[in-house]
């Protein structure tokens, strides 16, 4: 378990510092299950850690924000100013039922015709399966027959304009 959390820390550190030139425009958006949204400029973030089912964000000014992983609906890195622009450029992702045990409906809405890839990854970022790869426009639902072990996963949609994710619990 300790290796898992260290790997997540390394993954987020790489994401945070990979593109220094765009860092001033990028932000981390955390959407909670109660629909509250918290936004953080990447230039203000010192580190993000996942420890004992908790996501903790350490800011450069010394302040700390912390959430239970089960309270987080979605978190993503955004290079576009504004959540509505994010949805217009990339798309909107919904995953239900969540938690699930046998079948998951993955609904993705996009205002532009684009090639997408829908995949499920574990908390280490290792791809567990491809749900769909191909062209997409409008709102489409993709049904995934669950064929992986119980645990917490991330449904990830990769588009030509960015990536959107949703956490997914398999029981």
C-alpha to C-alpha distance for 99 and 101, rounded to whole angstroms: 7
Residue 58 and residue 116 share a domain: no
**Nearest alpha-carbon partner for 157 in 139, 138, 131, 137:** 131
121 or 50: which leads in pLDDT? 121
Please tell me the total count of domains within the chain.
2
pTM, rounded to two decimals:
0.53
- Which residue among 56, 78, 100 closes a domain? 78
Percent of the chain topping pLDDT 90: 42
Strand-pairing partners, residue 152, are: 169
Residue 43: how many other CB atoms lie within 10 Å = 13
Q: Is the pLDDT reported for residue 9 higher than 90?
A: no
Instruction: List the domain range (segments joined by +) for residue 100.
Output: 88-170
Q: Is the pLDDT reported for residue 10 higher than 80?
A: no
Residue 11 and residue 57 share a domain: yes
138 — phi, psi (to 5°)?
Answer: 75, -150
Q: What local confidence, expressed as pLDDT, does residue 73 receive?
A: 87
Residue 159 and residue 110 share a domain: yes
> Does a structural domain hold residue 83?
no
Residue 105 and residue 56 share a domain: no
Q: Is the pLDDT reported for residue 2 higher than 70?
A: no
């Amino acid at each position: 378990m300790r290796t898992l959390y260290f790997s997540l820390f390394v993954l987020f550190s790489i994401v945070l510092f990979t593109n220094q030139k765009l860092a001033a425009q990028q932000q981390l958006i955390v959407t909670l299950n109660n629909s509250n949204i918290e936004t953080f400029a990447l230039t203000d973030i010192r580190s993000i850690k996942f420890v004992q089912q908790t996501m903790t964000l350490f800011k450069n000014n010394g302040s700390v924000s912390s959430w239970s992983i089960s309270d987080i609906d979605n978190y993503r890195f955004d290079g576009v100013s504004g959540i509505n622009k994010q949805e217009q450029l990339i798309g909107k992702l919904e995953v239900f039922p969540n938690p699930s045990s046998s079948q998951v409906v993955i609904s993705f809405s996009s205002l532009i015709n684009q090639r997408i890839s829908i995949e499920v990854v574990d908390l280490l970022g290792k791809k567990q399966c491809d749900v769909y790869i191909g062209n997409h426009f409008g709102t489409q639902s993709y049904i995934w027959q669950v064929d992986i072990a119980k645990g917490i996963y991330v449904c990830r949609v990769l588009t030509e304009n960015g990536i959107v994710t949703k956490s997914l619990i398999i029981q």
